[in-house]
Amino acid sequence: MSLTLDAITVGSELEKSSYVPSDYHELTPDELTAQWHSLTSRETVFVSEVLSTFTKPLQGTKLRGALMVDLCEVLRETGMACRQELNEQPTDVSTSNYWGVNRGIAVDKNDLDLVRSLMNKGSVRPIKDYGKIMRRLRSIHEMGVAIVSVTATLEGCEAATIDDRFLGEAIRHGIFDGIMFARGHMGGRVPKAQALKFAMEQIFDMGADAVPVAAIDDSTHHLDAFKDVFANNPNLELRAPRHEGNAHLPASQKYLVDSPLAAFDSVHTYFQAVLQRGEAA
């Protein structure tokens, strides 16, 4: 099947002030699993510690690595969608800090309702180079690497995240092996690194320190946690794409690369090199 992921149709612009704290539905584990299954037609499984669903690996499949992919600002322009809706600039407080990662300023509940409305109306666009990134991910997957999205996306955005408003076509093509809604925007609930470790051990039958691991996330505190959870893994690659929302981070920050595409290019090169070394050993 050919891969046609260069463009995604997104919903029309929201009318101003249309994002009210209206009803939104947080998918149950059964509903999430059923929706994922409808896209893959494969047996699905889950991790009990986290709202999650996975395509069960085929019997005899040998997985050689694991990649964690964040979503907001890595694959979709959530912050930009909020700023455009409110006609604000990247430096404005309310939208540059819409997750509450705001260096001491409380997040307004209306900002969260805005995010939910934009996502559920399909008005959050994929980032530039989305199609190229999907092709990098497919190539990484063909190397035998399990690819899992671990996202802090808000409650009530699950369906809009995995259907044709966003990841649906990529899931149909088997690019993603699973998704985990770990929630913890500031490291609460289940940290992303720990969520990936759960998936590796419970779903993919991989020891956390036995195979190469990589993570792409625009929030560096999430990547810091990977160094703790995977402290004994000698093959760990961590990348944070720079964008308007994390422009305050110093250029010397060790994880940073220039763009989301640069992050996926770096991880692609990493898996090629480390897996080839393993074959030669």
Greater confidence, 135 or 183?
A: 135
Residue 274 within any structural domain of the chain: yes
SS3 214: strand
What's at 52, amino acid-wise? S
Residues 58 and 155 occupy one common structural domain: yes
Indicate whether 97 and 185 sit together in one domain.
no
pLDDT of residue 14: 38
List of long-range contacts for 102-111, beta carbons under 8 Å, 24+ apart: 109/21, 110/19, 110/21, 111/82
Structure confidence at residue 117 as a pLDDT band (50, 70, 90) = confident
**pLDDT above 70 covers what percent of the chain?**
78
Whether residues 187 and 248 share a domain: the answer is yes
Chain centre to alpha carbon of residue 7 = 18
Q: With 50 as the cut, is the pLDDT of residue 18 above it?
A: no
- Give the pLDDT confidence score for residue 174 in this predicted structure: 95
Q: What's the rounded mean pLDDT across residues 40-49?
A: 92
Q: What mean pLDDT is predicted for residues 220-229?
A: 92
Return the SS3 of 146: strand
Q: What is the pTM of this model?
A: 0.86
Distance CA 93, CA 239 (A): 26
Single-letter code of the amino acid located at 248: H
CATH of the domain at 266: 3.40.50.1000
Q: Quick one: pLDDT at residue 157?
A: 92
Q: Place 281 in a pLDDT band, splitting at 50, 70 and 90.
A: low
How does residue 17 score in pLDDT terms, banded at 50, 70 and 90? very low
| pLDDT value of position 84 | 83
Q: 186 and 63 share a domain? A: yes
Residue 90 belongs to domain spanning: 81-120
- Going by pLDDT thresholds of 50, 70 and 90, the confidence category of residue 108 is low
Cβ 128 vs Cβ 243: under 8 Å: no
Q: Which of 218, 20, 189 is nearest to 120 (CA)?
A: 20
Q: Do 72 and 87 sit in the same domain of this protein?
A: no
Q: Which residue has the tokens 């690194």?
A: 193
Q: Are 246 and 212 in contact (CB under 8 A)?
A: no
Helix (H, G, I), strand (E, B) or coil at 89: coil
